[in-house]
Amino acid sequence: MARKWNVGQINRNSQKFVRETKDPGNDHGQYVWVAECQRETANGVCGHIYGVNGSDFWQRKCPACQGGRPGLPFSEMR
């Protein structure tokens, strides 16, 4: 059974689920979700914001500070 994520939840790699979009992802039938890195760095919280497929949010790592895959593009509209 797939896990249901709620806005505000944080995955095991310190990535917060910010919101869903209506933008198509690059995985079959998926839409882009917006993620924000909550990982503590020497300069405070990373805070990088990027797009992910809803299907792989649970395992995503930040592309800016954890060597994760590049983020997907998403519209700024809510």
pTM: 0.90
Average pLDDT of span 55-66? 96
Largest Cα span, the chain = 38
75 in helix, strand or coil? Answer: coil
Percent of the chain topping pLDDT 70: 94
d(CA 29, CA 4): 16
Task: Please tell me the number of Cα atoms within 13 Å of 39 on its side-chain side.
Answer: 21
Domain boundaries, the chain: 1-78
CA atoms within 13 A on the CB side of 38: 13
The residue type found at 49 is I
pLDDT tens digits, 21-50: 999 999 999 999 999 999 999 999 999 999
- pLDDT at position 4 is 86
Can you give the pLDDT at residue 76?
Answer: 77
| pLDDT number for residue 1 | 40
